[in-house]
Amino acid sequence: MSGARTSALATLRGQIERIETATVVHPHDRVALGHSEADNALKGGLARAAIHEVFCAGSQGTAATGFVMGLAGRVSAQRPLLWVRQDFSEIEAGALSMSGLAELGLDPRRMVMVRAADVESALRTSADALACDALGAVVLELWGETRQFDLVASRKLTLAAQGSGVTGLLLRMAAQPLPSTAETRWMLRAAHSPPGSVWDAWGAPRFDAELLRNRHGPCGRWIMEWNCDECQFSEPSTYSQPVAATPAHRPDSTVLQQRRAG
């Protein structure tokens, strides 16, 4: 009897150990975001096969949406993207616009949208979808504080993501961070455009991204810019348009690098 109990305990311990060690992500499973400081903090980039949470205040929903969209575009690598959202979130924050998505340099063709009526079905759908390895990323968009998204639900999503290698991104608008099994947690705000006159065109989307929690590295806060043409994040440019004249005798990019260094 006691022998059976010990062996059962040993099996359970083994299982827990397996679960715990599975969270160690190998460097080749990371995707560089393009912003060098953030990539350094993330040890090379955003981990695939994990859950990442992006929080924001209620009024900053679109900035966070853009950031999540950028992360999804980075990790999904030409694979389909499943976006699960609550009905309520669309009323509050507006519907995701496919033309806006295309304007960010992402591909609306690879987007499948699930309109879940409530949090339970949204959670269940995302857990199902995270287990499907044909997807590049699954985004779960929730509005407001939810009781249903607790540590158990978060663990379920993490396990599903680890099993399939699909990245899960959680967009939590108007919500406060709670303990979870996420690999990283971000707080998003919109950042100002670089200085200029009232009638100057603004530049690329800019995010004030704060890394609140990072399982395998330091946290930090950066201004990140989304480069719509190259589909990656970058350090903020000081001006929305290039100000220096392009020299004819050497390539433009060297000038840019020098200016960044100086």
Q: Which residues bind other proteins (CB under 8 A)?
A: 59-63, 65-67, 69, 79-80, 82, 90, 93-105, 107-117, 121, 124-125, 128-129, 132-135, 189-193, 196, 198-208, 226, 228-229, 240
- Closer CB to other proteins, 44 or 169, in the complex: 169
Shortest Cβ 106–other proteins spacing (Å): 10
Give the tokens for residue 57: 């205040």
- Closer CB to other proteins, 132 or 219, in the complex: 132
User: Any idea what the Cα angle at residue 178 is, between residues 173 and 180, rounded to 5°?
Assistant: 105
Question: Cα(23)–Cα(215) distance, rounded to whole angstroms?
Answer: 9
Query: How many CA atoms lie less than 13 Å away from 213 in the CB half-sphere?
Result: 15
- Closer CB to other proteins, 75 or 111, in the complex: 111
- Closer CB to other proteins, 199 or 243, in the complex: 199
Question: Cα(145)–Cα(158) distance, rounded to whole angstroms?
Answer: 20
Shortest Cβ 212–other proteins spacing (Å): 20
On whether the CB atoms of residues 130 and 166 are closer than 8 A, the answer is yes
- Closer CB to other proteins, 25 or 96, in the complex: 96
Phi, psi (deg, nearest 5) at residue 173? -95, 145
Shortest Cβ 174–other proteins spacing (Å): 13
- Closer CB to other proteins, 23 or 125, in the complex: 125
- The full 3-state SS of 171-239, as one line of letters, equals EEECCCCCCCCCCEEEEEEECCCCCCCCCCCCCCCEEEEEEEEECCCCCEEEEEEEECCCCEEECCCCC
User: Any idea what the Cα angle at residue 35 is, between residues 34 and 36, rounded to 5°?
Assistant: 105
- Closer CB to other proteins, 32 or 57, in the complex: 57
On whether the CB atoms of residues 85 and 122 are closer than 8 A, the answer is yes
Shortest Cβ 114–other proteins spacing (Å): 5
Shortest Cβ 30–other proteins spacing (Å): 22
| 161: nearest Cα among 50, 76, 21 | 50
